[in-house]
A and B are shown apart, each in its own frame.
Chain A
Amino acid sequence: MRIGIDVGGTNTDGVLMQGREVLAWAKKATSADVTSGIKDVLQSLLGTNVQPKDIGAVMIGTTHFTNAVIQRRDLVPTGVVRLCLPAGEAVPPLYDWPRDLQAVVGNHRHLAHGGHEFDGREISPLDADELARIADKLTDAGVNALAIVGVFAPVTPEHEQRASEIFRARNPQVEIALSHEIGRLSLLERENATALNASLAPLARRTMRGFRNALAEMDIQAELYVTQNDGTLMSADFAEQYPVLTFSSGPTNSMRGAAFLTGLSDAMVIDIGGTTTDVGVLSGGFPREASFAVDIGGVRTNFRMPDLISIGLGGGSLVREEGHRIGPDSVGYQIRERSLAFGGDELTATDIAVASGWVELGDPERVANLPEETRSQAQTTIHDLIAQAVDQLRTSPDPVPVIVVGGGSILVHGDLDGASEVHKPEHFLVANAIGAAIAQVSGEVDQIFSLETMSRQAAIGAARDQAHARTIQAGALPDTIEVVELEEIPLPYLPSSAIRIRVKMVGQL
């Protein structure tokens, strides 16, 4: 048996699963310390007839770190050292960040000698004295989080590793994030992600401790995993070091969960929460990825993120102008205090669903005298908002199957324009947690190969072998491993025969 948990900003959801079967589910409030919310969920899931020792693995998905960046909280002052000189001066580190986020991490940005050319030559040798001077400056400024970013480090990581040793020797307390372990080629985006990662280090430590404590207090000794952006798992130790790898795991888990619950691998997924609705596309059981750079809290990164459209419609969205306008403002998690059906005095989208008899919630009498025109107009507005988002993501005019999940799915009733069928799977409230529970492990290779000494086929073969070995290392059962991505990227405008190959494989635990 395994447990999937989704720690959101408002709720902590959990499911207990055996094979493909959902044995139990629970939804509790997220606690400030994370631990007690998870404990509540675990308690509820285990009940009386499941023993802690029956649990083989616990998978947690969390939006904790994304929210921290978006809300500019729990981030610590962070040094950024870019190994690049004499290159790199034209755009300093974190230059394109929003001012308020720059203020939080502080101005501790340094350029230093080092880094490599595309073919592995040094741009300049690493200068240990220069780095020691920077280390002392950071220590004097009380900065204990550090991002080290070397030019072409994803291809040649050596300078980042040596620089890291130099900094650690000067200040054993410093928490260091190395860019080659976090992102791909494209320096500014990778640097941004690395700096955010370093800045999240104390929060990551506290959060993982919270996760582990909750398990320990419930006597669960199972392996603890955390889901990452692509819907696959990493160990809790790894997640503690790389919190940025969870940035888009929320929508990914919900879409993977939706695929699992319906058995559909190609469909549109509509995840309706309290304030927003995310619409994304499932292709082959995985979210379709966005092809453009993705902003997290106003910072450009080059993570692969699901291609999502977010609209300001949720269960708590305020209804105005006789139902002509709904959202984007919302009562959010206060729905049970502020919406009409629950005794409040705000008319929300949920009240429309209650008044329409789509759902039994609160006190229907309190919305009974809503004008018929407002109610029917609001129904139309809700429907149109969702149908427009679906239409924007469609790749053909043919109707597509649609899966509706999330706490606000009561807002979808009956047919939807552009949908061939509308699925509201059982357990749609906890699709996120199910997505976490069914997550697989992965192995990835992203490397530049020189075709002067090997053929293209041999290079691809080498990359595949390496990815396969990494997937097994991550704990995958060998006969479940499959290739989910294989991409060849030539390096244009250079006549040298080099090619970048990216391979990702996944497998089941």
Chain B
Amino acid sequence: MTESNTVWYVDAEAIENIAVGAGILGTGGGGNPYVGKLMVRRCLDEGAVIPVVSLDAVTDDATAVSVGGMGAPTVSVEKIQRGDEPIVALRALEQYAGRRADYLVPWEIGGTNSTRPLVQSAYSGLPVVDADSMGRAFPELQMCTFSIYGVPCTPAAIADVRHDVALFPKTATTKLLEKYARAVTIEMGGSTGFAFPLMSGAELKRTAIPGTLTLAKEIGRVVREARQTLTDPVAALLSVSGGEVLFRGKITSVHRTMTRGFAKGEIELEGMEDDRGDNLLIEFQNENLVARRGETVIASVPDLISIVDTNTAEPVTTEVLRYGLRVAVVGIPAPQLLRTTRALEVVGPRAFGFNFDYEPLAGEYGAGRIAQTSLS
């Protein structure tokens, strides 16, 4: 990272940009950041100051906790949160662990969980670290760099709108925590706020993906500018994300099934422009997992496969997929931390039940942003 010891503050413009960028990094899932954006805006209206500090500014002996929301997006757009659930979970966690948090860190930059830590910062006064544990969105908790690189996921806490708290002092694996916490989340009404893992600054710096809030903000900024100046928002998106257009086409069929709480399915696209005559098949499990052109896999997890509207670069989530939409399928190379042998065991294609190996997309995650930052 070229940034060091930098702090920036979330303002009204930044939150608009983050919401757009986080939607694109959500790769079809992660929930719509709209409600989260309004929550942040309301905090700003009331005078909240939300500092975002760069990962390398965190000292080794500091304590950082990841916070966010858990549950079904369908529930969270209907049952608007009380707002402070993750902080209530955090306070219970601190009490149990006997340590106070110095920093909040996003769990998942893709989708609605990009904005929750910002709201919690407003409630608690704690700064937010410019990093996360996915660089995108994933369907399950263990698919995060904290767990992959050995940060224990427990103790962990979740809280609901009544401020009831469930504490998990210890689970053997993050996958088990996922299972238990989700079961409790359902009993708590389908959406909760969470706080875990609690870790040292050294652990955070070793495992987190740096600069992802800035990346979401920059993607949003260039896309929104392109929309306003009537230039190509998809090209703008590519310029900062390090991604490429894998396919342009229209959606010709969407097939959805429901398995173990996941929206699984397939999207078929018919090529347009340069891709005319070709077909693309995308398989998703909440998030888009694999893209096949004919028989050939052209992109797969952990690389990001994002479907966006060709005219606006508005992300097309798995919930709004519809016949006839004209879209660009954008592939963004996964962060290096998701591309190691160790990571691929958890987030590679085989971890999702596919019987092929990961072939990385060329390029670098957020390449354009890094170039831009060093220019400025």
Residues of A in contact with B (beta carbons under 8 Å apart):
84, 86-92, 95-96, 115, 117-119, 121, 123, 151-152, 185-188, 281, 283, 288-289, 291-292, 392, 394-397, 488-497, 499-500
Give complex CA distance A496, B259 in Å: 10
Q: Does A492 lie within 8 Å of B72, measured CB to CB?
A: yes
Q: Does B38 lie within 8 Å of A117, measured CB to CB?
A: no
Tell me the smallest distance from the CB of A194 to a CB of chain B, in Å: 14
Nearest residue, chain A, Cβ from B309 = A292
Does B272 have its Cβ within 8 Å of any Cβ on chain A? yes
When the two chains form the complex, which single residue of B119, B182, B189, B316 contacts A118, counting CB atoms closer than 8 Å? B189
Does B339 have its Cβ within 8 Å of any Cβ on chain A? no
When the two chains form the complex, which single residue of A96, A490, A493 contacts B71, counting CB atoms closer than 8 Å? A493
Q: Does B42 lie within 8 Å of A291, measured CB to CB?
A: no
Q: Does A152 lie within 8 Å of B186, measured CB to CB?
A: no
Give complex CA distance A293, B276 in Å: 29
Give complex CA distance A473, B162 in Å: 42
Tell me the smallest distance from the CB of A321 to a CB of chain B, in Å: 18
Nearest residue, chain B, Cβ from A88 = B80
Give complex CA distance A177, B38 in Å: 25
Tell me the smallest distance from the CB of A290 to a CB of chain B, in Å: 9
Nearest residue, chain A, Cβ from B260 = A495
Give complex CA distance A260, B78 in Å: 39
Nearest residue, chain B, Cβ from A281 = B324
Q: Does A291 lie within 8 Å of B189, measured CB to CB?
A: no
Give complex CA distance A89, B82 in Å: 5
Give complex CA distance A95, B326 in Å: 32
Evaluate whether A90 and B74 lie within 8 angstroms (CB atoms) in the complex, with A123-B161, A395-B324, A494-B190 already known: no
When the two chains form the complex, which single residue of A394, A396, A490 contacts B263, counting CB atoms closer than 8 Å? A490
The digit string for B313-348, where 1 denotes a CB below 8 A from any CB of A, is 010101111101110000000000000000000000
8 closest A-B pairs by beta carbon, nearest first, are A495-B261, A90-B83, A490-B258, A492-B263, A87-B161, A493-B72, A117-B189, A291-B322
Residues of B in contact with A (beta carbons under 8 Å apart):
29, 35, 38-39, 41-42, 71-75, 77-83, 119, 139, 161-163, 182-183, 186, 189-190, 250, 256-258, 260-263, 270, 272-273, 276, 286, 311, 314, 316, 318-322, 324-326
Q: Does B80 lie within 8 Å of A87, measured CB to CB?
A: yes
Give complex CA distance A325, B263 in Å: 49
Tell me the smallest distance from the CB of B241 to a CB of chain A, in Å: 21
16 A-B pairs within 8 Å (CB atoms) are namely A86-B162, A87-B81, A87-B82, A91-B38, A91-B39, A117-B79, A118-B72, A123-B161, A151-B80, A152-B78, A186-B78, A188-B77, A291-B316, A489-B74, A495-B183, A499-B258
Q: Does B186 lie within 8 Å of A496, measured CB to CB?
A: yes
Tell me the smallest distance from the CB of B198 to a CB of chain A, in Å: 24
Q: Does B74 lie within 8 Å of A185, measured CB to CB?
A: yes
Give complex CA distance A89, B73 in Å: 18
When the two chains form the complex, which single residue of B75, B82, B322 contacts A494, counting CB atoms closer than 8 Å? B75
Q: Does B38 lie within 8 Å of A96, measured CB to CB?
A: yes
A92, A121, A186, A394: which has the most chain B beta carbons within 10 Å? A186
Tell me the smallest distance from the CB of B354 to a CB of chain A, in Å: 20
Q: Does A395 lie within 8 Å of B82, measured CB to CB?
A: no
Give complex CA distance A481, B319 in Å: 28
CB-CB < 8 A to A151: which residues of B? 78-80
CB-CB < 8 A to A491: which residues of B? 72, 74-75, 258
Q: Does B83 lie within 8 Å of A89, measured CB to CB?
A: yes
Give complex CA distance A84, B263 in Å: 27
Nearest residue, chain A, Cβ from B71 = A493
CB-CB < 8 A to B260: which residues of A? 495
Nearest residue, chain B, Cβ from A151 = B79
CB-CB < 8 A to B77: which residues of A? 185-188
Give complex CA distance A152, B76 in Å: 11
Give complex CA distance A495, B259 in Å: 8
Evaluate whether A90 and B189 lie within 8 angstroms (CB atoms) in the complex, with A187-B77, A492-B263 already known: no
Nearest residue, chain A, Cβ from B29 = A492
CB-CB < 8 A to B325: which residues of A? 291
CB-CB < 8 A to B322: which residues of A? 289, 291
Tell me the smallest distance from the CB of A93 to a CB of chain B, in Å: 10
CB-CB < 8 A to A95: which residues of B? 38, 41-42
CB-CB < 8 A to A394: which residues of B? 326
CB-CB < 8 A to A292: which residues of B? 314, 320
Nearest residue, chain B, Cβ from A307 = B324
Evaluate whether A492 and B73 lie within 8 angstroms (CB atoms) in the complex, with A87-B80, A497-B258 already known: yes
CB-CB < 8 A to B186: which residues of A? 494-496
Q: Does B261 lie within 8 Å of A496, measured CB to CB?
A: yes
Q: Does A88 lie within 8 Å of B74, measured CB to CB?
A: no
Give complex CA distance A255, B276 in Å: 29
Tell me the smallest distance from the CB of B220 to a CB of chain A, in Å: 17
Give complex CA distance A186, B31 in Å: 12
CB-CB < 8 A to A90: which residues of B? 35, 39, 42, 80-83, 119
Give complex CA distance A407, B260 in Å: 55
Q: Does A187 lie within 8 Å of B80, measured CB to CB?
A: yes
CB-CB < 8 A to A87: which residues of B? 79-82, 161, 189
Q: Does B261 lie within 8 Å of A492, measured CB to CB?
A: yes
CB-CB < 8 A to A187: which residues of B? 77-80
Tell me the smallest distance from the CB of B110 to a CB of chain A, in Å: 13
Evaluate whether A91 and B161 lie within 8 angstroms (CB atoms) in the complex, with A396-B250, A493-B286, A494-B72 already known: no
Tell me the smallest distance from the CB of B122 to a CB of chain A, in Å: 11
Nearest residue, chain B, Cβ from A92 = B42
Q: Does B189 lie within 8 Å of A121, measured CB to CB?
A: yes
CB-CB < 8 A to A91: which residues of B? 35, 38-39, 42, 80
Give complex CA distance A92, B139 in Å: 30
Give complex CA distance A234, B176 in Å: 52
Give complex CA distance A497, B259 in Å: 8
Give complex CA distance A152, B256 in Å: 23
CB-CB < 8 A to B38: which residues of A? 91, 95-96, 188
CB-CB < 8 A to A283: which residues of B? 324
Tell me the smallest distance from the CB of B65 to a CB of chain A, in Å: 20
Give complex CA distance A431, B80 in Å: 42
Give complex CA distance A132, B82 in Å: 23
B29, B72, B83: which has the most chain A beta carbons within 10 Å? B72
Given contacts A281-B324, A493-B72, 9 further A-B contacts (CB under 8 A): A84-B80, A89-B82, A394-B326, A395-B326, A491-B75, A492-B258, A492-B286, A494-B190, A496-B186
CB-CB < 8 A to B318: which residues of A? 492
Q: Does A489 lie within 8 Å of B319, measured CB to CB?
A: yes
Tell me the smallest distance from the CB of A292 to a CB of chain B, in Å: 7
Tell me the smallest distance from the CB of A282 to a CB of chain B, in Å: 12
When the two chains form the complex, which single residue of B74, B82, B319, B326 contacts A86, counting CB atoms closer than 8 Å? B82
Tell me the smallest distance from the CB of B149 to a CB of chain A, in Å: 25
Give complex CA distance A397, B80 in Å: 43
